[in-house]
Structure 1
Amino acid sequence: MSATKVFVITGANSGVGFELAKILYAANAKVYLAGRSEKRVLEAIQLLQNDVPSSQGSLIWLPLDLADLASVKIAAEDFLSKEERLDVLWNNAGVMCTPTTAKSEQVMFWTLSLGYDLQLGTNVLGPYLLTTLLYPIMKKTADTSPLNSVRVCWASSITIELAPNGGIGMDDFGSPVFSNNKLTNYCASKAANNMLASEFGKKCRDGKVLSVVCENKSLLLPFRSQSCSYADTCSVKAFNPGNLNTGLTRYLTLPFLGSIVPRLMSLVLWPARYGAYTELYAGLSPDLTIEKHVGAFIWPWGHVGYLRPDIESSLHSQEDGGSGKAAQLLKWCDREIKDFI
């Protein structure tokens, strides 16, 4: 891999993002590790440099708090002041099952209440703003790069199988509806990323940038239904190996088990590096093309999967027989980030 290629990974100081950064750095890439904590990111950079001392690449901290849209704008401006190209953006970072009382920084314009649900802000709106702000430089990079090589990768999860009907609830004003159940909210936020990968991907297609979504952060849901006759990809393994041992489960609790759940799950989960293989495939595999794979859902450890029929319907307009929820969500996101563009 040429060291001239430039990559951004959000949440790269630990878990899947860290392992992805290690693989790219070992291939002499220039990698921006985007994250909130200077201490944690710099410690991660030191570990990576120690692990791969022969690398001719570079590792750079990009300060970023996805729960704060002002921080996202500053991060994008910081990156754009330093670079003239961006080959792949991995929207890897996210939070899971945070308390429903936890909020993002910004006021929700449509209700004037104090902050978005933290999972909505961190997993959906923050990555969307970052992608929107960095899209022009990706489009510019695509103009002088091989077709299909410039990409944006969004993070989803097998837990979208537990998402509400259509993936995410929308009210009569076209705004997402989140519940008092933190797991349901997480599942909805991941399904929303499938929608953004598809809908924003239509714009990306025009700029020769491929937009796909990865399944890489999952709860312990080991089996997929064999009754999924709606998908030609169901002939692949019913067993889902995408359950990863990362810090994402730190907020997860279950009745009678409490906070011991993450420790129990760590005994049966795959190492985070396996999730990095999925993201690597999504970001770099020549198998994926703009012609065929805009919004494609990439399963572990690197093949194209399928969506639940009602979520798939959300990706299509009502004129095309779908529900049009993806277009509604994109319109809402555009409305919410307009003061930061």
Structure 2
Amino acid sequence: MTRDEVERALAELPFRLLRRLGRAITGPLALRMGKRRLIHTIMAGAEANSARIEAAIRTHEAEQRALAAGPGPAGPASAEHRVERPADLRALLEGIGVPEPRPFVPDDWQVEAVEALERGDVIVSVPTGSGKTYVAVEATRRAMHEDRTVVYTSPLKALSNTKYTEFCKIFGPELVGIITGDRRDNPAAPILIMTTEILRNLLYDAAGGEIDVRLDTLGLVIIDESQFLADPERGVVWEETIIFCPSQARLLLLSASIGNPQELAAWLSSIRPTPCHLVRHQHRSVPLRAGYLHPNGKLTPLFRTVAMPPSPSQAVLHPEAKRLFTMFEEDTLYTRRSG
């Protein structure tokens, strides 16, 4: 191999093999190097270590050939060590895509959450993708019908921008505004999208005597990603926003990962003039699919699929994922022992 070919081959090596090769050539210092510097260091001693370098390249090529070869002959010995089959990937990806159009019927928990806002504040704790946005939109419609201002807060400017676009499509751009650290569009609109810090600052100003008509007509505050209440750095912003929120406004807290929703509901009921209703829904309408995406674009299921025969060992991990974890463990142990 020419020097350029060797350098290109080194660039294609997985970092674990490259680091192992560098450790053998330069010692423990290689463990502190990035990939580019490591390749440069190995190439500096390429002539004296050509056998080691070629062995590492051959090892990588053999692994790639084994992955490309696909499953071996069927049998008990190969069943637990074969790479994933197309049927496994079909089982992993089945159902992904745009569903067939059908009339929308809200779930019972969605109706419960919207109606509960008539009586007090509401916490909605449901898995991601279950339909929290429907509750926010319907609650906004009702507040607009009563000629009240609605504020939708999120922890991130990017999420605020997304919700702004979404609400503009639903209610029309003339009725929706956005206020973030670097954006201020239609700030007098009856529906305002903003980061939680912006709302906290507005409430601070109002507490200091500054008049804000938007707060006087405030009827609904939607706090998305309300699990940030537990954040050690930013949680105080969410807490102060809730405490200073005008008593005439309803609070709608949305989250997929509140750890203690009952305690939060009890706290809200103790500091707010109206009781807080907790709506929980455990069923995940959009199932999670666990897989590992290789740098070369190949996808490996992490867990066994229904398309695979039963495992004698009752293993949960997909055989290929198990092989990857084993390789990682061996490489980690090698690094620790070598160091």
TM-score of the pair, normalised by structure 2: 0.33
Highest RCO, 1 vs 2 (Cα 8 Å, sep ≥ 6):
2
TM-score of the pair, normalised by structure 1: 0.32
